[in-house]
């Protein structure tokens, strides 16, 4: 990797382990995405058998250039890969980054796994990487994601209108949230409380 601010690491939780993504995980990612046929969700980007190669090519390009750090999400109970997440859009000078490209097999959604994944990523970002801010971005129409980000304790920064155009030429409004370093102690306490319930 060209930049050493982001470095490959494994993050261990009670429910899940976040391990470095590699190309050998392609089949396991497709199996996880097939639980709910997640690639059919028009407002998010989940790989299918047709797009997995391009999806991974772009991910590894971003990681090589120091803009991303890629993880697979492993269910500790079964040791199966159940999804993926990453740090992305990293600003190596100012130590800001985004947590994005997060998705889980349908049978693992609404189980507490997302809360623990975000806790692990946020703790590493603020406590090991000394990030000054962590962003979350989602599609205006992804109501489940909007609610999940708000539940984490992130605050909405704004909406980027006509932010991106998809393959069909449809524009996306992107909602931007963030947590800043001074907020992390209270966000951390809130997430720890949620994970004990």
Topology of the domain covering 11-196: Aminopeptidase (3.40.630)
Question: Which residues are CB-contacts of 182 (< 8 A; sequence separation ≥ 6)?
Answer: none
pLDDT at 42: 46
* Distance from C-alpha of 178 to C-alpha of 132, rounded to nearest angstrom: 10
pLDDT at 109: 65
pLDDT at 125: 98
pLDDT at 37: 52
pTM over 0.85: yes
* Distance from C-alpha of 193 to C-alpha of 197, rounded to nearest angstrom: 7
Question: Which residues are CB-contacts of 9 (< 8 A; sequence separation ≥ 6)?
Answer: 20, 124, 128
pLDDT at 35: 64
Which regions of the chain are under pLDDT 70? 1-4, 35-45, 109-110
pLDDT at 2: 44
* Distance from C-alpha of 54 to C-alpha of 35, rounded to nearest angstrom: 21
Structural domain spans, the chain: 11-196
pLDDT at 179: 98
Question: Which residues are CB-contacts of 71 (< 8 A; sequence separation ≥ 6)?
Answer: 11, 18, 19, 20, 21, 84, 85, 86
pLDDT at 1: 39
Q: List, in sequence order, every residue forming a beta bridge with 179; answer none if it has no partner.
A: 134
pLDDT at 140: 92
């Amino acid at each position: 990797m060209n930049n050493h601010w982001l470095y490959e690491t494994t993050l261990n939780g009670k429910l899940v382990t976040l391990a470095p993504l590699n190309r050998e995980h392609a089949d396991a990612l497709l199996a996880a995405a097939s639980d709910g046929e997640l690639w059919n969700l028009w407002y998010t980007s989940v790989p299918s058998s047709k797009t997995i190669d391009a999806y991974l090519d772009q991910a590894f390009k971003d990681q090589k250039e120091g803009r991303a750090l890629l993880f697979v999400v492993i269910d500790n109970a079964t040791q199966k890969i159940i999804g993926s997440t990453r740090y992305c859009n990293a600003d190596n000078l100012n130590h800001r980054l985004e947590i994005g490209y997060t998705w889980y097999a349908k049978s693992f959604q609404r189980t507490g796994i997302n809360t623990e994944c975000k806790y692990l990523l946020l703790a590493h970002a603020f406590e090991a990487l000394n990030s000054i801010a962590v962003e979350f971005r989602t599609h205006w129409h992804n109501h489940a994601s909007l609610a999940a980000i708000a539940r984490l304790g992130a605050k909405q920064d704004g909406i980027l209108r006509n932010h991106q155009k998809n393959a069909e030429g449809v524009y996306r409004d992107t909602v931007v949230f963030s947590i800043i370093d001074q907020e992390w102690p209270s966000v951390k306490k809130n997430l720890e409380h949620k994970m004990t319930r």
